[in-house]
């Protein structure tokens, strides 16, 4: 059962949280003027679901091509929540997907990784098609 | 306004290599459409992935600042309200890239805090800006400023040349505040 799903919008990402499969994915672009409206329902759901995943694995895929500062704030908050639960027994494995020549995305991944000491954090650069 | 003046405005903008110009009340929806046109045009111009993305990002952050902080506002609707901020957006070709210039009116009383913040940011090097940005993202509640300072940090950080800004008298109690950044 999928716990949480939102379709991608013009300025919002596709989000899927499936605790039964141990998968959580955010993909696309995220630049709504107020990212709280997009991320608050997700954060509430995550906080409800994560305690039940103690001892289990959660694969997290951040696969974003662009996000604004408001969304960056929300991502930082997500990382903190995930890491808190990683510390309490959820095996959190993060994949940070980014175009290999996108320094800004790579740097933000590094900044997130610093805050996710209890999780496994893997950089997953890809060559983009253009 | 007569047609001749409108045409003169267009002529002046074209002469200044302006790609997108928008003046008036701005909503998130309009912002998204303009950002998409800008992205497509810069891709067609073959500016490359990184410059196009930087311009897109500078445009979004600056235009969102107009929606949030312009002192000239329009709020419409009941239940789900739509916020419009009045401002001026100009995006155009610079010597070796693109400039993004956005401005809006602010109350005179806000000048000191905004100017002080910009000066602090301009005195930081790349590493300091990166650490400061992260620290600001982590500081939980900035409810009042809706993350304004993080948007400004991002603009200063991503601009390939130092940003330029000005506060120009505009009305009795307001100033026109404008930032020009480069991608």
* ipTM value for the complex: 0.93
State the pairing for strand pair B73-76/A120-126. unpaired
**Residue A129 pLDDT grade (very low, low, confident, very high; cuts 50, 70, 90):** low
Rounded Cα gap, residues B34 and B158, in angstroms: 20
Per-residue pLDDT tens over the stretch B80-132: 788 899 999 999 999 999 999 999 999 999 999 999 999 999 999 999 999 99
DSSP B3-67: HHHHHHHHHHHHHTTEEEEEEEEE-HHHHHHHHHHHHHHHHHTT--HHHHHHHHHHHHHHHHHHH
Q: Tell me whether residues A101 and B68 touch, CB distance under 8 A.
A: no
User: What's the CA gap between A45 and A107, in Å, rounded?
Assistant: 28
pLDDT score for B183: 97
Residue of B134, B144, B150, B183 for testing the chain A interface, max A β-carbons within 10 Å: B134
| Residue B67 near chain A (CB below 8 Å) | yes
> Are A73 and B158 within 8 A, CB to CB?
no
User: Which of the four pLDDT bands, split at 50, 70 and 90, describes residue B141?
Assistant: low
Is pLDDT of B177 > 90? Answer: yes
Query: How far apart are alpha carbons A98 and A124 in whole angstroms?
Result: 7
Check whether B34 has a pLDDT greater than 90. Answer: yes
Put simply, whether B85 touches A (Cβ < 8 Å) is no
Instruction: Note whether A69 contacts B147, CB cutoff 8 Å.
Output: yes
């Amino acid at each position: 059962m999928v716990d949480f799903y939102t379709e991608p919008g013009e300025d919002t990402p596709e989000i899927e949280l499936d605790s039964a499969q141990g998968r959580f994915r955010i993909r696309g672009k995220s630049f709504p003027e107020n990212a709280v409206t997009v991320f608050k329902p997700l954060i509430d759901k995550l906080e409800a679901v994560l305690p039940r995943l103690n001892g289990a694995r959660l694969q997290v895929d951040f696969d974003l091509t662009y996000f604004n500062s408001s969304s960056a704030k929300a991502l930082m908050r997500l990382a903190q929540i995930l890491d808190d639960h990683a510390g309490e027994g959820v095996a959190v494995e993060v994949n940070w997907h980014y175009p290999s020549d996108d320094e800004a995305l790579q740097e933000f991944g590094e900044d997130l990784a610093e805050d996710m000491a209890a999780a496994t954090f893997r950089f997953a650069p890809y060559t983009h098609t253009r | 306004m007569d047609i001749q003046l409108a045409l003169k405005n267009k002529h002046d903008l074209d002469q200044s290599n302006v790609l997108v110009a928008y003046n008036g009340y701005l909503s998130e929806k309009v912002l998204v459409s303009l950002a998409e046109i800008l992205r497509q045009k810069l891709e067609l111009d073959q500016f490359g992935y990184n410059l196009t993305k930087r311009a897109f990002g500078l445009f979004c952050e600056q235009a969102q600042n107009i929606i949030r902080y312009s002192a000239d506002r329009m709020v419409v609707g009941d239940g789900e309200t739509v916020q419009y901020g009045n401002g001026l957006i100009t995006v155009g070709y610079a010597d070796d890239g693109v400039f993004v210039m956005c401005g809006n009116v602010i109350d005179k009383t806000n000048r000191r805090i905004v100017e002080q913040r910009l000066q602090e940011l301009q005195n930081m090097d790349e590493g300091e800006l990166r650490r400061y940005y992260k620290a600001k993202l982590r500081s939980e509640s900035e409810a009042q400023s809706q993350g304004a300072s993080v948007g400004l940090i991002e603009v200063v950080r991503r601009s390939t040349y130092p940003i330029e800004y000005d506060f120009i008298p505009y009305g009795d109690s307001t100033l026109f505040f404008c930032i020009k950044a480069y991608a």
